């Protein structure tokens, strides 16, 4: 499945910068409308290491009202969390009415890294598929919009990105021995990811595979998908899609001024 995805899809940086203000303004309006309507949202980010999950989340939330969303970076369960049913810690992170939650990794680690690395027995990760489907079904039945993104790159691109990060003194810390070890297990992770996508893709909690070789293309696809889902959920309560041309122009002017100021500061510091 994943090996047949067209990873050559791309968008120029200039085109992305042109459409970004409108996308961010539209998402901001929808965030507020969801808050007013009491419509909760969960956005899940999974994918390969260095595929751009963190930067995509940063772009998505840059212009949102921080009072309306929360971000959860998910790591391995702590010792005390292992004493509870495995989904317990995620039930504690479900959204309030009108709130948007974003997950950088999620409950899907049970059937990805925990499966491949042998952190849990096979019986546990196989049972997790049913647990996940039921967990998401309960939330969806209660009115939660669930969006799941899998950011996909190939093995060669991942190695290229790891090496680029390691060459940057300010970014080298982001690449660990564990990252390289997972790269060596690419085929095992690929098998796990494909089974995960197949067994947990549902009408109420669909997966969107994001071609992430071009970060600009990936981010726009994520914006488009989230915006479309929220518009569908709100229906007639969705704000006018035309937006304010004046507001978008002001936003674009502000961005241009900030970039000019940053470039001037950079030249002055040389």
Q: What would the pLDDT profile of 5-27 be if each residue is shown by its tens digit?
A: 999 999 999 999 999 999 999 99
Q: What is the mean pLDDT of residues 56-80?
A: 96
pTM of the model: 0.90
Q: What is the mean pLDDT of residues 103-119?
A: 98
Q: What is the mean pLDDT of residues 203-224?
A: 98
pLDDT for 242 equals 78
DSSP-assigned letters across all residues of 64-108: S-GGGEEEEE--SPPTGGGGS-TTHHHHTTPPPTT-EEEEES-GG
The C-alpha R_g of the chain, in whole angstroms, comes to 20
Residues 177-200: tens digit of each pLDDT: 999 999 999 999 999 999 999 999
Residues 136-165: tens digit of each pLDDT: 999 999 999 999 999 999 999 999 999 999
First to last CA, the chain: 49
Q: What is the mean pLDDT of residues 73-95?
A: 96
Domain range summary for the chain, segments of one domain joined by +: 2-259
Q: Note the CATH number of domain 2-259.
A: 3.40.50.300
Closest CA to 23 of 222, 250, 229: 222
pLDDT for 244 equals 47
């Amino acid at each position: 499945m994943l090996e047949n995805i067209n990873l050559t899809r791309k968008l120029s940086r200039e085109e992305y910068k042109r459409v970004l203000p409108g996308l961010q303004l539209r998402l901001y309006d929808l965030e507020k409308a969801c808050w007013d309507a009491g419509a909760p949202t969960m956005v899940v980010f999974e994918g390969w290491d260095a595929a751009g999950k963190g930067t995509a989340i940063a772009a998505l939330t840059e212009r949102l009202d921080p009072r309306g969303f929360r971000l959860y970076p998910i790591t391995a369960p702590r010792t005390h969390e292992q004493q509870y049913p495995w989904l317990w810690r995620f039930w504690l992170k479900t959204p309030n009415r009108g709130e948007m939650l974003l997950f950088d990794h999620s409950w899907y680690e049970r059937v990805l890294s925990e499966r491949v690395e042998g952190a849990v027995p096979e019986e546990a990760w196989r049972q997790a598929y049913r647990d996940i489907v039921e967990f998401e079904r309960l939330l969806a039945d209660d009115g939660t919009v669930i969006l799941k993104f899998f950011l996909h790159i190939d093995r060669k691109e991942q190695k290229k990105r790891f090496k680029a990060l390691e060459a940057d003194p300010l970014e080298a810390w982001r690449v660990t021995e564990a990252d390289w070890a997972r790269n060596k297990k690419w085929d095992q992770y690929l098998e796990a990811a494909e089974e995960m996508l197949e067994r947990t893709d549902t009408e109420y909690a669909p997966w969107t595979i994001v071609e992430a070789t071009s970060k600009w293309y990936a981010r726009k696809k994520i914006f488009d998908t989230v915006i479309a889902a929220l518009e569908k959920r709100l229906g007639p309560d969705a704000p006018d899609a035309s937006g304010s041309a004046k507001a978008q122009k002001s936003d674009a002017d502000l961005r241009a001024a900030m970039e000019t100021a940053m470039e001037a500061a950079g030249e002055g510091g040389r």
